[in-house]
Structure 1
């Protein structure tokens, strides 16, 4: 047997053990997604991550290979709901579509962490009270008090109260599903939507395993339809649910919503229309604001990231809840998690659509997702959606906060406090023939004379602007101009007072501040510099003012005040 050359020998008497020069370790290709559903274990470059390196053991209950029928279906949506600060993106339709072989893969865009200390403005009547929001912002990271949840919101109630909680309806029969839909949801124009299914479901199994739980939400109510628990004698599709899902006039908003609707089509025969991918609106608003139009595409951004950036608080990301068996009776933690997913879609849609309308010029809403049309800019330019190189998903590096046992105890107490707003629907109540009207804003008191004066001025201002040849339309929004006029013409009213004057419950003071500044900036309207500085600009932190759209206005105000000082002296 011929000996190998000296440089390739493992042992040499003069050098001892000789190691190979190639320092690249070679690992076998493993279907990591089949061993564990945690999003931070998934890499789009290859599946060669070593579980032991992360201190995790494979989940023996989910030993799926990449060729197994349930491989894509089980893990794609979980990847799309990973935690901030990382975006999750998919090539085009942004969702699991088993029939077309489309699935979500992790992306690389970093979510903006510059979240305000005040709750973001929402045009909806249900909102997070400012003191509750601040308490959550100051909460210990990782505790129940620090997370975003539907339970934080308050709004007008049926009894005239202004601090009513969101009501959750938990339905376990087709009859109760039909009744709740007929009574509370049929006339809504915007609904949040989500699905959950058994963690080990495959396309060869039943609809109860693949569409275990359906969640829909309006601004005041959430409904959980536990299809997996319907009696065996029940049909699985309530007529009202099918009608809502197939009505293009009712917008159903969600993340990775096309994948959810593919499940409805494959397992329940529902051909969904009017479905809206929140990621499209998120990217349109975010990157139109910064001018990064090249970043606008139809690839998805995970729900947790959108909640953190758009609603101002992190979302609970418990993997034990996400990977639980949704075909079994729900516990309180599962109810809160699933209800929050659907409700988040309602609030994100409202917040982003309001921000879209404030853009100048204003882009149109993205098309419904089932149309498969590109996203449009304000001037009609079509944004291409080429395949883009993906980067590894980052890890969540935020502080862990309290010890795990402490956090669990606090979460148990928190979940018990939710019980009063969750209603387990009984099967014996009749279905009402007449459906109530959708959620409406609380009735306003008769308009204040100062509001009437502002509206009359607005009409005159618009008419006067149209008659001037150099400008065709008024660029500032009506709400901005109305708030400006009330502030400018009434020296006894500051933004806080105007917020109370314009609406009950009051607008956020920061909203009125932005209205006033935007009207002055866009329309070049006159103002008292000293008053603007003292009452309006003072609300914006100095470190933010220098980089905001109001930087030039703030500088002009400063110079005007400086010029007035010598005159007065």
Structure 2
């Protein structure tokens, strides 16, 4: 019997592509190399639970054993393709946590530190590690605005985020004055679940939440006195100001409610899902996955802020037309505050990409997402998305009395007088003195950092990155391993310090000696990471 060699198009087996089921059909899954595996996992549900991985996460993954990397790639490419339609059960059936395996398999300690941003308010390392080690499902294990600390008005370096709960037009207008100079705000809405368009604004726009990095405002329109206008003038001004970015998830849908029921024509609104997908899939090289389909706030929080987000057991059925309980205030405030932190983290990760894609346009402009090479992604608008996406993947949890009492210390119920009602401050415990003196090189770096940030309107690099850069740049006897040992006990990972230095140089355009960068910093990176993430530095230092 004569043998006949099938044409390449009709072979069932191909040494590179595996089994081929049909001719001229694009491979169902792209081939992933090891470098891409560091930054991407498969889609799960309407969006993966593993976000684009931050610099310190990516750096720590270099030490992974080959067998673990292979396992991760195999898991990624065998995930089934999700249905294009969002299920209405999205609130109750959260996507599986794909990022969990990634974190647990890594031997480094970088993932035990909170993600970096250029904001002044962040999660202290000890608080973040306590949340990561808390029993799953307990209030202490979840992400919340209550974890954050930053500079206070009285000089306190560890002040809590303030919450202003307003139940009248007068108090809302007064509190809005605190937000007019912000460039980026988090934004969210709540409404009565069964409300229809004939029931008016109080049931369809019951609660408005806005947030900056240092404070959160809750405007409970449903409780405004009947004589009050439901639209504080300064709030309308903020929402219609193109120069103030209002960030959120499903934000076009929320702003449609503002237009229909309050006559506010919002501008400068930013859909976080667009930036999330741009950063994540640009890092992995899977540009075909960048689109305008929405990703739940809880998914983005879990992936980017590295802690799960909670909701109350009855938040879906909450009657937002009634006065809020303490736990509802905490949930509502966290939703708006998450958007501020997500915007900062994702924008930082975007600027670290090489090449760097431009920031997505404001959602109200209805323009396509732009890639780094100048190509625009023509995708359907997200208007077909359901409102279920807003609360999908949140985990039910009940807050303890102790938890709510601690959070309540920074919540102000605004009064109608000229001054807000401020709860009396509890005596502050004396701070423990540091038993060991601070290294003079650390002190010098912190002094430089304070001056550097004071003379600039905005810094893109995180404070930790700028501090590490100065220690390296100003001390020629210090290399990344030495800096890692000085900055913390136990020492930071060397790869974390390398990432800090490169971030500061790239984002702030800071000076450096080419030979030192090549021999002390770039030499510590694997070749595949150099070629994919830091090729600009590699090219600039080749001749040194």
One fold, TM greater than 0.5?
yes
Q: What SS does the aligned partner of 2:374 have?
A: coil
Which residue number corresponds to residue 498 of structure 2? 513
Q: What is the CA distance between 1:478 and its match in structure 2?
A: 13
Q: What SS does the aligned partner of 2:231 have?
A: coil
Kept in 2, the 8 Å contact 1:174–1:230? The answer is yes
Q: Please say if 1:252 is aligned against 2:252.
A: no
Residues 479-498 of structure 1 aligned to structure 2 (within 5 Å): 486-487=471-472, 490-493=475-478
Kept in 1, the 8 Å contact 2:479–2:520? The answer is no
CA distance in structure 2 between the aligned counterparts of 1:280 and 1:552, rounded to whole angstroms: 22
The count of aligned residue pairs is 399
Which residue number corresponds to residue 226 of structure 2? 232
Residues 347-496 of structure 1 aligned to structure 2 (within 5 Å): 347-385=341-379, 408=398, 411-429=400-418, 486-487=471-472, 490-493=475-478
Q: What SS does the aligned partner of 1:341 have?
A: helix
TM-score of the superposed pair, with normalisation by structure 1: 0.61
Q: What SS does the aligned partner of 1:423 have?
A: strand
Kept in 2, the 8 Å contact 1:155–1:164? The answer is yes
Kept in 2, the 8 Å contact 1:147–1:313? The answer is yes
Q: What SS does the aligned partner of 1:334 have?
A: helix
Q: Please say if 1:203 is aligned against 2:197.
A: yes
Residues 140-289 of structure 1 aligned to structure 2 (within 5 Å): 140-182=135-177, 184-289=178-283
What CA deviation, in whole Å up to 9, does each residue of 1:71-100 have, x standing for no partner? Answer: xxxxx998776775369xxxxxxxxxxxxx
Which residue number corresponds to residue 291 of structure 2? 297
**Structure 1 residues 546 and 144: alpha-carbon distance in aligned structure 2, compared to 1, 3 A threshold:** farther
**Structure 1 residues 158 and 336: alpha-carbon distance in aligned structure 2, compared to 1, 3 A threshold:** same
CA distance in structure 2 between the aligned counterparts of 1:248 and 1:208, rounded to whole angstroms: 26
Kept in 1, the 8 Å contact 2:301–2:342? The answer is yes
Q: What is the CA distance between 1:521 and its match in structure 2?
A: 11
What CA deviation, in whole Å up to 9, does each residue of 1:246-269 have, x standing for no partner? Answer: 111110000000000000000001
Q: Which moved more, 1:142-151 or 1:479-488?
A: 479-488
Kept in 1, the 8 Å contact 2:480–2:521? The answer is no
Q: What SS does the aligned partner of 2:129 have?
A: helix
Q: What is the CA distance between 1:490 and its match in structure 2?
A: 1.8
Q: What is the CA distance between 1:285 and its match in structure 2?
A: 0.5
Residues 118-137 of structure 1 aligned to structure 2 (within 5 Å): 118-137=113-132
Q: What is the CA distance between 1:513 and its match in structure 2?
A: 3.0
**Structure 1 residues 417 and 491: alpha-carbon distance in aligned structure 2, compared to 1, 3 A threshold:** same
Q: What SS does the aligned partner of 1:417 have?
A: helix
Which residue number corresponds to residue 117 of structure 1? 112
Q: Quick one: which of 294, 319, 333 aligns to 2:327?
A: 333
Q: What SS does the aligned partner of 2:400 have?
A: helix
Q: What SS does the aligned partner of 2:261 have?
A: helix
Q: What SS does the aligned partner of 1:193 have?
A: strand
Q: What SS does the aligned partner of 2:217 have?
A: strand
Q: What SS does the aligned partner of 2:246 have?
A: strand
Structure 1, unaligned stretches of length 5 or more?
A: 1-42, 45-75, 88-109, 432-444, 456-475, 538-544, 555-569
What CA deviation, in whole Å up to 9, does each residue of 1:168-214 have, x standing for no partner? Answer: 000000000000111x1111110000000011111111100000000
CA distance in structure 2 between the aligned counterparts of 1:169 and 1:135, rounded to whole angstroms: 27
Structure 2, unaligned stretches of length 5 or more?
A: 1-44, 47-85, 104-110, 421-441, 453-460, 535-544
CA distance in structure 1 between the aligned counterparts of 2:504 and 2:410, rounded to whole angstroms: 41
Q: What SS does the aligned partner of 2:356 have?
A: coil
Kept in 2, the 8 Å contact 1:86–1:305? The answer is no
RMSD: 4.5
Q: What is the CA distance between 1:347 and its match in structure 2?
A: 0.2
What CA deviation, in whole Å up to 9, does each residue of 1:236-283 have, x standing for no partner? Answer: 111011100011111000000000000000000101000000000000
**Structure 1 residues 127 and 78: alpha-carbon distance in aligned structure 2, compared to 1, 3 A threshold:** farther
Q: What is the CA distance between 1:525 and its match in structure 2?
A: 4.0
**Structure 1 residues 331 and 419: alpha-carbon distance in aligned structure 2, compared to 1, 3 A threshold:** same
Q: Quick one: which of 518, 521, 529 aligns to 1:549?
A: 529
TM-score of the superposed pair, with normalisation by structure 2: 0.63
**Structure 1 residues 292 and 329: alpha-carbon distance in aligned structure 2, compared to 1, 3 A threshold:** same
CA distance in structure 2 between the aligned counterparts of 1:270 and 1:111, rounded to whole angstroms: 39
Q: Quick one: which of 95, 101, 105 aligns to 1:85?
A: 95
**Structure 1 residues 546 and 81: alpha-carbon distance in aligned structure 2, compared to 1, 3 A threshold:** farther
**Structure 1 residues 495 and 83: alpha-carbon distance in aligned structure 2, compared to 1, 3 A threshold:** farther
Residues 308-323 of structure 1 aligned to structure 2 (within 5 Å): 308-323=302-317
